[in-house]
Amino acid sequence: MRARDLAVEYPSVTLDSDALDAARLLAERRLPGVMVIDDDGKPYAILPASRLVKLLVPDYVLEDPALAAVVDEKHADRLCRALDGRPVRDCLPRERQVPPVSDPDDTALEVAALMARERSPLVAVVEKDKAGGQLLGVITAAHLLEQLLGVA
């Protein structure tokens, strides 16, 4: 079993995607993060759902958590304005999480070793081409466990 056989489609957005659309995608699919690809279609970063939650929380609440309890729900409904019209590139954490990259011909054990070394919950499988590479799909830790353990 090679990385190309293990890779599955994984939701991705571009650096220019609307952050609110990215947040809706994460929410609807109940994902811990979304893959951000650059203008050449290569994996650029992971945008974690928790990062988007942080951007929705007003600064005055982050500074004084006690205020969170007194903000009424109607106001909370307008939180999404913090993301609306903002590109994904402006929402990435300062320390960008770059997903480790596997070759499509890597074995499951090579992918596992890469994931273990990088302590990453997922690995991007990239087919190298003249432009630098194209994202074939993603292998998550849970998916790899399934393969390594032979869970049907």
**Site residues (CB under 8 A) for its own copies?**
1, 20, 23-24, 26-32, 48-50, 52-54, 56-57, 61-62, 65, 68-69, 71, 73, 76-77, 79-80, 106-110, 112-117, 119-121, 140-146, 148-151
The H-or-E segment that residue 93 falls in is none
Residue nearer to its own copies on the CB measure, 71 or 98? 71
The H-or-E segment that residue 102 falls in is strand 101-102
- Give the SS3 label for residue 49: helix
Asked if 9 and 139 count as a contact pair (C-beta separation under 8 A), the reply is no
Residue nearer to its own copies on the CB measure, 30 or 130? 30
Main-chain dihedrals φ then ψ at residue 42, nearest 5 degrees: -90, 150
Residue nearer to its own copies on the CB measure, 39 or 72? 72
